[in-house]
Structure 1
């Protein structure tokens, strides 16, 4: 079938601006993990649809507000993450858990009434959680996170609740449009050529795809069973885990979150963050599942962790190179592009993308 996203939509600035308004402002956006907000005043900042957003633990509840002071418009939380009161660094205006100014230096000079202070409340956005993942939505509508994730909600909940130790965070800036990178992760057609010494050796293959609403899932067998050969010793400490699968599973949370797992022992979550029409921040998290503490061999565990980190980094470095070559090519292509059955998830992604994008 012909591809639905045209070559120009991978590099034109007008498309990128359109995506902010008609895509990212409409969907649920991943902003972090519950563990990022363990302590009161833990925060993360994000840019959603071009809007600066702060997500913060305020008195034990995770809230999301526009990260702009209502006094003189300064950004409030100025670092990517941290632990700090919700207080503007310019004049010291502090905000309570409802986003209302409550600590104002020289407050009597303003002569605010209670009603006037409430009108200065920071714009608030909806927060919902699935498993260990925290999401924010800019659009004020009745579409819940459960509605958005559809039949995959329970699967995502179970997968991410099984995230144990975080063993790697890998950030790569890629000179390619974010959609090129997402689409690359949604098909295995390129694996034999691009990942011949890495991902191909896992042996994940097949067309066992599941589609629901904006999202899709790939289930694939792998060459070696979990407890075969040398792997049996590596995976022994993880036998009591809650989440078990036979092979490899890869899922997209539309439009830009990819979660994968092998056996339910190791996990990768990739966040594809658009920076501009031609530059993307690829942020990858690698987890191992929770395990019994008494089943611990530090030497084997370190070897296992190192192998996972090296494998994932090598695969993503390989993807970076080819995605950048695609970005160069789309500027000169006279063709719409073609999709095979093996690229059905790319086709589904493009169909759903087109439902949001309006011209």
Structure 2
């Protein structure tokens, strides 16, 4: 048993929000999303609007709010254009400074040249892009991720092109999403037509590692599942191959996973309230050792579409369960959940998180 966990109280949620900002580093993008000049990715984290953009090969991150009349600069979750507010065309450069605006002479008295968008520090774990929310935190990204850094960096180098990017609203507390993804104890029952058919959930994991609240785990594949020869042949030249389902949790907000290196899922949590969490879903094709022919690419596109459909099925199966749990919590707010040995990553997570709550809040 662990201490009682409150999933519904507004005061508890606000304390957790404060703790997240003290933790500071969050995983926001993969370099493949920002490969070209003017590529950008946006996010809104606990009300803070932020964008990351490629400025002629240099990635920078700024507050996504124009300094003129406070309109949002980039409205879309991702895209490619200059960082220009579409209200009055105020345009910003890689230092966050105003480099273009209409009727500049009319603003001379306001010292426009001294204005700067709030900037967030960027660092990298392989090809993953992190930003630091709290500029007072004196802790490097490498130190923040600890011994999980190397494994996370390795898998990041095998991401191909992004195939999907959308957001699903979950009417649940953020902790329920974390609990759900940190175990495969539910896979054979909830994911009977997806993970279970692929052979996952019936064999206990033997490979895993932890650092503070971060963790990774490889869930082995059962021996009784026959491989699809067409898919195996088509994906034979992918650069990353593993026999199992590999899953990373980067505290506090990100989930990275891959089934046998055949594609890569990147989930990003946006806690909105005690009972609402948005999940941004991104999926990436695998990277290949050599350039594909047109016919090979057509097959890979078909496999990617099938993977996207399977991912959507899994996510909605989980969503149904965790939303059902949330509706019951009002009647169990003074009770603790029970976690067994199969849910060891959840126990490790709460061991860290509960200590941080006591020490930092």
In the superposition, the TM-score normalised over structure 1's length comes to 0.87
1:230 to 1:105, Cα distance in 2 relative to 1, 3 A: closer
1:328 to 1:264, Cα distance in 2 relative to 1, 3 A: same
Contact 1:4-1:351 within 8 A present in 2 as well:
no
**Distance (Å, rounded) in 1 between the aligned partners of 2:219 and 2:78:** 36
Q: Which residue of 2 aligns with 1:133?
A: 128
What is the correspondence of 1:38-187 to structure 2 with a 5 Å cutoff? 38-112=35-109, 116-117=111-112, 119-140=114-135, 141-169=137-165, 171-187=167-183
Query: Is 1:287 the counterpart of 2:284 in the alignment?
Result: yes
Contact 1:176-1:323 within 8 A present in 2 as well:
yes
Contact 2:91-2:100 within 8 A present in 1 as well:
yes
Q: Which residue of 1 aligns with 2:354?
A: 354
Contact 1:269-1:286 within 8 A present in 2 as well:
yes
Q: What value does the CA root-mean-square deviation take over the aligned residues?
A: 2.7
Structure 1 residue 330, shift from structure 2 partner: 1.5
Query: Is 1:206 the counterpart of 2:178 in the alignment?
Result: no
Among 254, 271, 290, the alignment partner of 2:251 is 254
**Distance (Å, rounded) in 1 between the aligned partners of 2:84 and 2:309:** 40
Q: Which residue of 2 aligns with 1:15?
A: 12
Contact 1:170-1:313 within 8 A present in 2 as well:
no
Structure 1 residue 224, shift from structure 2 partner: 4.5
Structure 1 residue 320, shift from structure 2 partner: 0.7
- Structure 1 counterpart SS, 2:2: coil
Q: Which residue of 1 aligns with 2:338?
A: 338
Among 24, 29, 36, the alignment partner of 1:27 is 24
Contact 1:36-1:42 within 8 A present in 2 as well:
yes
Contact 2:32-2:161 within 8 A present in 1 as well:
no
Q: Which consecutive unaligned segments of at least 5 residues does structure 1 have?
A: none
Structure 1 residue 195, shift from structure 2 partner: 1.9
Structure 1 residue 24, shift from structure 2 partner: 4.0
Structure 1 residue 247, shift from structure 2 partner: 1.9
**Distance (Å, rounded) in 1 between the aligned partners of 2:90 and 2:164:** 37
- Structure 2 counterpart SS, 1:32: strand
**Distance (Å, rounded) in 1 between the aligned partners of 2:301 and 2:37:** 32
1:300 to 1:77, Cα distance in 2 relative to 1, 3 A: closer
